[in-house]
Amino acid sequence: MSRWRLAYHANCWGPLGGNAVGVTSITQLTYRTFGDMARAAREIAAAGYEGIELFDGNLLDGEGDGFRDLRTALEATGLRLVSTYSGANFVFGEILEEELARIERAARAAAALGAEHLVVGGGAKRARGLAGGDFDALARGLDRVVALARAHGLNAHYHPHLSTIVERPDEVRRIFGKTGIGFCPDTAHLAAAGGVPAEMVREHAGRISYVHLKGWRRDPFAFTPVDEGDCDNAAVLQALAEIGYRGWITNELDSWPDPAEGARRGHAFVKARMPAD
């Protein structure tokens, strides 16, 4: 078996958004792709991938019928559900339990379908800027995520994300000095925030057991397939090879005119740089 296994996130097969009910009900504030997940699975499998990642909202859509449609799609394509992605504010103590309850629902659902990983983003930026204690509050929340993920047999990872309090390399370094959660580097978000993703992979090598590979263009700002743009994903793959990374690499692309074409390009890009065992 190859050192790396390749998956693709289904977020490109429709507009990205969230559950609008979450505006007034924190427990419902999930991410989702407004698209056909069965079609996404078929086209991801046809592009050569072994696995798929889903937003928590798309995953939880199947709770009521025991995930019948999702199980059917996975069985028909031979794909493995590798991970689900969720998120939270984490810094507002009064709502933290509601946020964690929602994340645990996603973890339970992912585990029921055989996933290995749970990825979370977050750490809200306040309207008036960073408040004292926000990094500590985020770290405590992330440690709670580690515990709930472990209870369901999942590995938990934090995904630094644009628009949160953890964007720049110094902020990434700061949060990982306070929490034991794993690091899921999203190469496009790291690059857009001023980091050099390959260097950050080397710096945080001991934290990485799951990866989001993503392309990014500086001007005009856009996320792109992993084989184009201003994020040097070839250097990232070289760094992963150097640190002896073994595990899933999930290519990701938020929006593209032809999602299947973007998936094929991403698969070819990584396969051409996959190290020999």
Instruction: Tell me the mean pLDDT in the region 211-224.
Output: 98
pLDDT at 140: 98
Tens digits of per-residue pLDDT, 110-127? 999 999 999 999 999 999
pLDDT at 1: 47
Q: Considering the chain, what percentage of its residues have pLDDT values greater than 90? A: 99
29: DSSP letter: -
Could you please report the per-residue DSSP string of 51-63? EEEEEHHHHHTTG
Q: Is the dihedral of CA 181, 71, 114, 277 positive or negative?
A: negative
Give domain limits for the chain.
4-271
Residues forming a β-bridge with 31: 18
**Secondary-structure class of domain 4-271 per CATH:** alpha beta
Q: Which two tokens stand for residue 190?
A: 């790291």
Q: How far is CA 223 from the centre of its chain?
A: 15
- Mean pLDDT for the chain overall: 97
Instruction: Tell me the mean pLDDT in the region 135-153.
Output: 98
Chain position carrying tokens 């969720």: 86
Tens digits of per-residue pLDDT, 224-234? 999 999 999 99
The contacts of residue 82 (CB under 8 Å, 6+ apart) are 7, 51, 52, 53, 115, 116, 117, 248, 250
**Do the beta carbons of residue 106 and residue 60 sit within 8 Å?**
yes
Tens digits of per-residue pLDDT, 251-262? 999 999 999 999
pLDDT at 75: 98
Please provide the distance, in angstroms rounded to a whole number, between the alpha carbons at the two ends of the chain: 8
pLDDT at 133: 97
Tens digits of per-residue pLDDT, 12-53? 999 999 999 999 999 999 999 999 999 999 999 999 999 999
pLDDT at 260: 98
- pLDDT confidence tier of residue 2, bands split at 50, 70 and 90: low
Distance CA 229, CA 197 (A): 14
Distance CA 236, CA 234 (A): 5
**Do the beta carbons of residue 56 and residue 85 sit within 8 Å?**
yes
Strand, coil or helix: 188: helix
pLDDT at 7: 98
Q: Considering the chain, what percentage of its residues have pLDDT values greater than 70? A: 99
Plot region of 49 (φ>0 → left; ψ -120 to 50 → alpha; else → beta) = beta
Tens digits of per-residue pLDDT, 59-98? 999 999 999 999 999 999 999 999 999 999 999 999 999 9
